[in-house]
Amino acid sequence: MAAGLDVGFTEGVFTDAARPHWSGEGARPIRWSAWYPTDDAMAEAPPPEVDVGDGVPAATFRSLPLRRHARLATRAGALPLVLLSHGTGGTVAGLGWLAHRLAARGLVVAGVDHHGNTAREAYRPEGFLCWWERAGDLTRLADHLLADPRFAGRLDANRFHVAGFSLGGHAALALLGAITEVPRFASWAAGQSLGRGPREFPDLADRIAPLLAESPAFRTSWQRQSLCFRDPRIRSALVMAPAPTVRGFTPDSLAAVDVPVLLTVGGADREAPAEAGAGWLHGLIPASRLVPLGADIGHYVFLGECTPEACRAEPAICIDAPGIDRAAIHARVAALALDLFAPAGR
């Protein structure tokens, strides 16, 4: 696998006519970004990101060297594709640290800012409740890239993979065939201290009944919760600090997952504790491997390195425990991902 390549970057938006916009007006938007190897030295550098992850403001994360709208590297052969899914309320740019490292080693990496659940647009409760729609976003993106002139003929359909952080871990597992049952999650959550919703919608659970009564788009999605969203093209998954929503997956569907799954989580993760998510999944997915990252490592280590200004403004997201080197953790996780997605000799 090539090393040290420049990284290209492009983005776009298309719509999925099979699913509605949460407003009920028009089709569901699929806003996407892609990182990929390039040898096009003439391409321009991208402007600063507008929104960068998990609801935090612009310029939160340190910038990485990118070539905007560069051509895909001219090296021979089809390239692996890794699909990315961000955490609750975030953006795929928050996982740019992983995308950049993989692209520099010859992989194409692309992710979606999930409609209604991303800082790239106004938050909507529907986007926070209907987790299963994220898997469809990633499948549609893979289809889109296969037809996009910039990538058509250059992606190896036998080497598609997925990586997800927090709620994005739910999307990754859904692409492997894990089936959601919201009552199963609600029953488990009733015995936990989770509150009624995330910080963006602290009354989220109370929104379900009104939305079922008033929103045709929400009713349609709610009825889809237990469909199988398996994409048979996906060959492996990296699941980083999976959110507690994974407790809504049926054990039988997790036991049926037959591709490699790498689970990783920090020992100080209060948002997605190992025993509630990664550890529980490891006990049910036969082909899984659990890699603990250390006792003092928290949830947000999986976001990019923050600027000094952001560290002052968003310490809960940007500042890790004393002695934790976020860049070193990123390098370790990226190495695990590379071994999973593009093992030596392939």
**pLDDT in tens for each of the 346 residues of the chain?**
445 689 999 999 999 999 999 999 999 999 999 999 999 876 666 554 433 334 444 457 888 999 999 999 987 689 999 999 999 999 999 999 999 999 999 999 999 999 999 999 999 999 999 999 999 999 999 999 999 999 999 999 999 999 999 999 999 999 999 999 999 999 999 888 776 778 888 999 999 999 999 999 999 999 999 999 999 999 999 999 999 999 999 999 999 999 999 999 999 999 999 999 999 999 999 999 999 999 999 999 999 999 888 889 889 899 999 999 999 999 999 999 999 998 754 4
CA distance 82 to 159: 8
The CA distance from 120 to 13, in Å, is 12
Q: What is the pTM of this model?
A: 0.93
Rounded to whole angstroms, the Cα distance separating 122 from 180 reads 26
Within-domain flag for 51: yes
Helix ranges (DSSP H) in 178-291: 182-189, 208-214, 216-222, 251-255, 278-282
Under a CB-based contact definition with an 8 Å cutoff, are residues 333 and 240 in contact? yes
Distances (CA, A) of 4 to 99, 200, 216: 14, 39, 49
- pLDDT given for residue 60 in this prediction: 78
Residue 87 φ/ψ region, left for φ over 0, alpha for ψ in the -120 to 50 degree band, beta for the rest: beta
Handedness of CA 145, 11, 329, 277 (dihedral sign): negative
In this prediction, residue 164 carries a pLDDT of 98
Closest CA to 227 of 143, 135, 162, 141: 135
Q: Helix axis angle, 326-341 relative to 96-103, nearest 10°? A: 50
Residue-range definition of the domain harbouring residue 11: 6-341
Task: Check which CATH number belongs to the domain holding 219 and give it.
Answer: 3.40.50.1820
Cβ within 8 Å of residue 168, ≥6 positions away: 84, 85, 86, 87, 95, 134, 240
* Residue 346 belongs to some domain of the structure: no
Answer whether residue 274 is part of any domain. Answer: yes
pLDDT of 51 = 38
Residue 319's pLDDT is 92
Report the domain count for the chain: 1
In a domain, 162, yes or no: yes
Nearest alpha carbon to residue 29 among 148, 192, 144? 144
In a domain, 36, yes or no: yes
Residue 1 in domain: no
- pLDDT score recorded for residue 200: 86
Which neighbouring-strand residues pair with 164?
A: 85, 239
Q: Which residues contact 234 (CB under 8 A, 6 or more apart)?
A: 83, 160, 161, 162, 175, 176, 259
The pLDDT assigned to 2 comes to 46
119 lies in a domain?
yes
